[in-house]
Amino acid sequence: MSPLDRRLITHINWPLLVMVAMLFGVGVLNLYSASGFRMGDGVSLNPFYQKQCIWGLAGFLGMITMTLFDYRYFKHVAWPLMILTIVLLAMVPIMGKTVYGAKRWLDFGLFSIQPSEFAKFATLMLGALMLSKGTGRLGWLELFTILAVALPPAAMVIVQPDLGSGLNILLLLGGMILFRGLTGRVFKVLLVVVPAIIPCGWFFLKPYQKLRVLTLFNPERDPLGSGYHIIQSQIAIGSGQMWGKGFLEGTQSQLRFLPEKHTDFAVAVFAEEWGFVGAIVLVALFSIFLYLLAGASRDAKDRFGSFLCAGVFFYFFWQILINMGMVLGIMPVVGIPLPFISYGGSATIVNFCLIGIVLNVSMRRFVFKKA
């Protein structure tokens, strides 16, 4: 591992770092409000925002770690990491810990890990490695090779069941494939086949998941059950109107009509208290953030780095689209958090580490040292 060159410091992607810091700051501020709920005699707080700060600190350390060595080492790590991930995922059904009815955790006594988080990194790195080889658009053979390698872990995550993470991995990979580009014929065929396959996925959904999709189209069909989330979320956002109800003044969240308000529906709290103006600012921040990721991909010194950044771009892009789409009532309720805004330990650490990878790529866009 090469020591940190002074030039590396000067080439740090400051705009991206600042944008991440702003988003995380907004997230903590919003969690402060979302942690509060009105008791008989005032506002009481759950310590979520404090914990989130600690997770952020841990994530920041992870992010630094990710920049310490040349990202090209990931090329060598990609395959072993994928194999390790598959082994760990295979262990989950056997010795996993059941939390909320799903087996997602492996307990090693001293610490617990979620192999699905490993799967994200493994898919990102291996995908970047495989897609960066060759320059043309993907033909059938290359496409199937990549899918053959990347689909099994994604499938294993989905059956845990962790539809959110599984979907995230699939979409990340799909985004990277599109980023590379497909030959005209393959693209046309997929354009027909993929929409045909998606409805088949319906039969693999659990009943509660089916219900969520159905309630998207008609929330009133079950206003106190699964439609409740969607209805209350829209009431929260809509009642914020142009200027919002003000910080800590959101009735929907303070009186706890809004479910999951510190995790999946955190952005609804924000939109209620800061109104249309605040929400647009947040959407703009996310857009700039994504634009910077795309820029890092464009400016990368090599194709591997470019694909790594594109993979991270898609990882965040899909989460933002699905989470905010869900909160705004245009996507089904899927348990995918909003990066930097939703509370969550492992998600925060993973997010920062991924940013670390992008920072790594962009700070090394001018200097390539021999390993």
Contact between 178 and other proteins by CB under 8 A: the answer reads yes
Cβ-Cβ contacts under 8 Å for 175 (sequence gap 6 or more): 310, 311, 313, 314, 317, 318
Contact between 370 and other proteins by CB under 8 A: the answer reads yes
Q: Which is nearer to other proteins, 122 or 236 (CB)?
A: 236
CA 244 to chain centroid, in Å, comes to 27
Which residue in 235, 247, 248, 335 binds other proteins (CB under 8 A)? 235
Residue 244 per-residue DSSP state: -
Contact between 221 and other proteins by CB under 8 A: the answer reads no
Which residue in 18, 21, 57, 330 binds other proteins (CB under 8 A)? 330
Could you say which residues in the range 109-148 bind other proteins, by CB under 8 A?
132-133, 135
Give a three-class secondary structure readout of 33-99: HHHEEEECCEEEECCHHHHHHHHHHHHHHHHHHHHCCCHHHHHHHHHHHHHHHHHHHHHHHHHEEEE
Are 23 and 369 spatial neighbours (Cβ–Cβ below 8 Å)? no
Contact between 76 and other proteins by CB under 8 A: the answer reads no
Tokens 């990721």 belong to residue: 293
Q: Which is nearer to other proteins, 161 or 181 (CB)?
A: 181
CB 34 to other proteins: min, Å: 14
Give a three-class secondary structure readout of 148-216: HHHHHHHHHHHCCCCHHHHHHHHHHHHHHHHHHCECHHHHHHHHHHHHHHHHHHHHHCCHHHHHHHHHH
CB 28 to other proteins: min, Å: 22
| Sole window of 86-94, 110-118, 178-186, 194-202 interacting with other proteins (rule: CB under 8 A) | 178-186
The strand pairing partners of 113, in sequence order, are 106
Please give the C-alpha separations between residue 352 and each of 32, 82, 171, 210, in angstroms, as whole numbers: 20, 20, 19, 33
Q: Which is nearer to other proteins, 92 or 300 (CB)?
A: 300
Could you say which residues in the range 251-270 bind other proteins, by CB under 8 A?
251-252, 254-257
| Sole window of 157-165, 175-183, 194-202, 351-359 interacting with other proteins (rule: CB under 8 A) | 175-183
Tokens 């919002």 belong to residue: 244
Contact between 69 and other proteins by CB under 8 A: the answer reads no
Q: Which is nearer to other proteins, 162 or 273 (CB)?
A: 273
Pairing of strands 36-39, 112-113: unpaired
Contact between 299 and other proteins by CB under 8 A: the answer reads yes
Q: Give contact residues for other proteins (rule: CB under 8 A).
A: 37-38, 40, 72, 132-133, 135, 178-181, 232, 234-242, 251-252, 254-257, 271, 275-276, 279-280, 283-284, 286-287, 290-291, 293-294, 297-307, 310, 313, 317, 320-321, 324-325, 328-330, 368-371
